[in-house]
Chain A
């Protein structure tokens, strides 16, 4: 029988409301222990306490037989607990190697030993599949998925007893995620305990030994993964089951385009793109990480300068060219960026202020704000989208990720956008909120709005989309209609431009590894 590495008993933590309530958990040496739960269930708070970032209110943690109460992240790290957080801790201005070894840079008389640093980093980069990167590459040049792998390398750099990974695969495409799973299985085989948090339940069940489910701050079950099915876990997470939605395709296109992309190229999208979007449809944008999905949406929102071609927005008021976000918003286009925190939220301000920003004109007269109208609209939106918060005045950073995402969607609902561009709208969002967001998007489509969704989750696109366009290596390669698609075809299309390795590195820095599939 394996020995217990970490034993948590009676752990509690409250902010304005209880987040963790009498949590009991036991994790063995060499065990991969998955923690799953809806957003706001308390997963991140739990691991933040383990890593020393947050302090517990009550309860006890025993690490290898000794009481463990880290005073801060450094203390936790020194005790052998390493943590790869969901919000990445990469410092843009430092190199890959400096980021990985920031906590213990090799030095002699305060001078960094570059050669030793390089040598210590090499093996780690090879391990996580970033062997093509030089250790002195500045991290600001890396893609989101590469950053995530660097974060992983950083967590693995220390020979930690407990490795905590919070949503480590959020930005990774299938093969990269599979590689990550191999790596942690190896680490666990050497005796480390891995705490693995993820919303990808399929992954969780295949990689973890034990799955613990958190609901409303309590552990509702803890069971060996091989005795569970995805439906079981969903049921335990929510306390109810989510039936798969009956998919009704969007109404037949009015053949009157709302947005037309004509032979567009940008700095990041070197191959001309042409496509047309119609009212009342959801269009999926598929592709591997780094294939150009986000770049395409940015271009549609006028965030990137076009090299050639043009993007025309047709409405009753006539047609205009989109070349600036302010124009895009005025012509009824809304955008939800891939990174909520930096691209969407105004932290330190209320839910109300966050919701009202782009459509604020409708709550003002002669540019003076009508506070009553603001309050009423935000209250309505909170109810309509079932946003879990204390009220419109609550600070937005106090909401869970899924509710923050809903707040951002509310922003565009309020300002009456006719076209919505969503980049990974359900990333890091729990199953319940996810289906609520789907429902919302279907309703918006049925009202005749156009929704363009980029996602690395093919299943999501097959659920949502009336059609899907596929990007591969920064090139629009194919378009699928709802009645003529299969997951396999889409994956094949997504990989088609990646077959020549040299193309891959030159264009994207992404390295597809089709053959490192899960065992």
Chain B
């Protein structure tokens, strides 16, 4: 019985993997250049920022909230890193820590307002979306700051392993978050709070510190995304990350995370990130126009949720 269920669960997770492979094969046959080093490098370079931000978003969604500010916080953190290196002359590692702190502060602010002042996360993070973007513009005086070569090393392939430090960190984040969610007491509590907050309270769980932690983590991960973004571009763009919150939500949802809270998977969300990134690059490869790309991406998100819903109702009965 349990073995069957185990198998079924894996089949369900593999469903996403299967669609991913299908997508790759599709683009591989449709375009001569899809299986090329350049395409691969482009995709691998775009992955880290979206991955870490989606991890944060997925956790926030599971605990029953939403974080709309991640894109702006990412932009803000990128500009902080830029100014810290260029204007303040901080060595790169310290600049990165300052950038990470900027993201963490935004997340903490969100978290305190949502958990201890009991405001809805939608509203709070919507406010933060505006504020962090404003801060990003103020930080660089609305200019793009050229940082230079040092930071780009983060997103260049390391010798021997062949992938960038950014990607390694992003994958590590996925693994740590996955283990934290599925194997730790905190993870179980987060799922419980997202499923039925009142019942969690009756079980002696105070939801507030967990909410706070998750929103703070989401902010810090957005900060990390900002560093990756600056590394990829070699410069700090105050416009970086506009609309990123929507991509992150889409990736989480494609991966089977419920917007109602209590249900979701980090590995699924990572697969969602891969699907979105590969889809966008693949479509560009086969010469699909920008408007058509957006149409197709949108449709894929809706279809993914439809399929997920359909699987949900069929596995329940």
Binding site for B on A (CB under 8 A): 15, 301, 303, 324-326, 328-330, 335, 337, 342-349, 353, 356-358, 360-361, 364, 367-369, 371, 390-391, 393, 395, 411
- B317 and A360 within 8 A (CB): no
Partner of A330, one of B191, B198, B204: B204
Partner of B196, one of A15, A342, A364, A411: A342
Q: Mark B184-196, 1 if CB is under 8 A from A, else 0.
A: 1111110110011
- B201 and A325 within 8 A (CB): yes
A395 to B201 CA separation, bound complex (whole angstroms): 21
- B2 and A353 within 8 A (CB): no
Chain B residues with CB below 8 A from A328, complex form: 204
| A-B pairs with beta carbons under 8 Å apart, 21 shown | A325-B204, A329-B204, A330-B204, A342-B196, A342-B199, A343-B199, A343-B202, A344-B199, A346-B191, A346-B192, A346-B262, A348-B262, A353-B191, A353-B192, A357-B200, A358-B204, A360-B188, A368-B183, A368-B185, A369-B187, A390-B1
Q: Which residues of chain B from 187 to 241 have any CB-CB distance to chain A below 8 Å in the complex?
A: 187-189, 191-192, 195-196, 198-206
6 closest Cβ pairs, A-B complex: A329-B204, A358-B203, A346-B195, A326-B206, A357-B203, A367-B185
Chain B residues with CB below 8 A from A369, complex form: 183-185, 187-188
Partner of B2, one of A301, A347, A393: A393
- A345 and B188 within 8 A (CB): no
State whether the Cβ of B5 lies closer than 8 Å to any Cβ in chain A. yes
Partner of B1, one of A301, A337, A371, A391: A391
State whether the Cβ of B178 lies closer than 8 Å to any Cβ in chain A. no
Q: Interface size class for chain B?
A: 20 to 34
- A347 and B203 within 8 A (CB): no
Chain A residues with CB below 8 A from B263, complex form: 348
- B185 and A344 within 8 A (CB): no
Q: How far is the CB of A333 from chain B (nearest CB, A)?
A: 9
Chain A residues with CB below 8 A from B206, complex form: 324-326
Q: How far is the CB of A202 from chain B (nearest CB, A)?
A: 32
A303 to B2 CA separation, bound complex (whole angstroms): 38
Residue of A nearest to B258 (CB): A348
Partner of B184, one of A301, A353, A367, A395: A367
State whether the Cβ of B161 lies closer than 8 Å to any Cβ in chain A. no
Q: How far is the CB of A146 from chain B (nearest CB, A)?
A: 21
A360 to B189 CA separation, bound complex (whole angstroms): 9
Q: How far is the CB of A398 from chain B (nearest CB, A)?
A: 8
- A391 and B184 within 8 A (CB): no
Chain A residues with CB below 8 A from B317, complex form: 15
Binding site for A on B (CB under 8 A): 1-2, 5, 183-189, 191-192, 195-196, 198-206, 262-263, 316-317
- A335 and B188 within 8 A (CB): no
- A326 and B204 within 8 A (CB): yes
Q: Given A325-B202, A326-B205, are A348 and B195 also a contact pair (CB < 8 Å)?
A: yes
Q: How far is the CB of A440 from chain B (nearest CB, A)?
A: 19
- A346 and B205 within 8 A (CB): no
A390 to B195 CA separation, bound complex (whole angstroms): 22
B interface, over-half SS: helix
Q: Given A325-B202, A330-B204, A393-B2, are A360 and B196 also a contact pair (CB < 8 Å)?
A: no
Chain B residues with CB below 8 A from A347, complex form: 195-196
Q: How far is the CB of A188 from chain B (nearest CB, A)?
A: 36
Chain A residues with CB below 8 A from B202, complex form: 301, 325, 335, 337, 343-344
- B186 and A367 within 8 A (CB): yes
Chain B residues with CB below 8 A from A356, complex form: 188
Chain A residues with CB below 8 A from B186, complex form: 367
A357 to B186 CA separation, bound complex (whole angstroms): 11
Q: Given A348-B195, A360-B185, are A411 and B203 also a contact pair (CB < 8 Å)?
A: yes
Chain B residues with CB below 8 A from A395, complex form: 316
Chain B residues with CB below 8 A from A325, complex form: 201-202, 204, 206
Q: With contacts A325-B202, A411-B203 known, what are 16 further pairs, Cβ within 8 A?
A: A335-B202, A342-B196, A343-B198, A343-B199, A343-B202, A344-B199, A344-B202, A347-B195, A347-B196, A353-B188, A357-B203, A358-B204, A368-B185, A390-B1, A391-B1, A393-B2
- B188 and A357 within 8 A (CB): yes
Chain A residues with CB below 8 A from B205, complex form: 326, 357-358
A399 to B146 CA separation, bound complex (whole angstroms): 61
A393 to B4 CA separation, bound complex (whole angstroms): 12
A203 to B183 CA separation, bound complex (whole angstroms): 50
A301 to B186 CA separation, bound complex (whole angstroms): 23
Residue of A nearest to B9 (CB): A393
A490 to B77 CA separation, bound complex (whole angstroms): 68
- B262 and A364 within 8 A (CB): no
Chain A residues with CB below 8 A from B185, complex form: 360-361, 364, 367-369
Chain A residues with CB below 8 A from B262, complex form: 346, 348-349
A325 to B203 CA separation, bound complex (whole angstroms): 8
Q: How far is the CB of A396 from chain B (nearest CB, A)?
A: 10
- B1 and A342 within 8 A (CB): no
A353 to B199 CA separation, bound complex (whole angstroms): 13
Chain B residues with CB below 8 A from A391, complex form: 1-2
Residue of A nearest to B186 (CB): A367
A358 to B316 CA separation, bound complex (whole angstroms): 26
A302 to B206 CA separation, bound complex (whole angstroms): 12
Q: How far is the CB of A350 from chain B (nearest CB, A)?
A: 10
Partner of A345, one of B187, B189, B199, B201: B199
- A346 and B199 within 8 A (CB): yes
Q: How far is the CB of A315 from chain B (nearest CB, A)?
A: 16
Chain B residues with CB below 8 A from A358, complex form: 203-205
Q: How far is the CB of B194 from chain A (nearest CB, A)?
A: 9
Chain B residues with CB below 8 A from A301, complex form: 202
Chain A residues with CB below 8 A from B1, complex form: 390-391
- A345 and B196 within 8 A (CB): yes
A328 to B185 CA separation, bound complex (whole angstroms): 19
Residue of B nearest to A370 (CB): B183
Chain A residues with CB below 8 A from B187, complex form: 369
Q: How far is the CB of A16 from chain B (nearest CB, A)?
A: 8
Chain B residues with CB below 8 A from A344, complex form: 199, 202
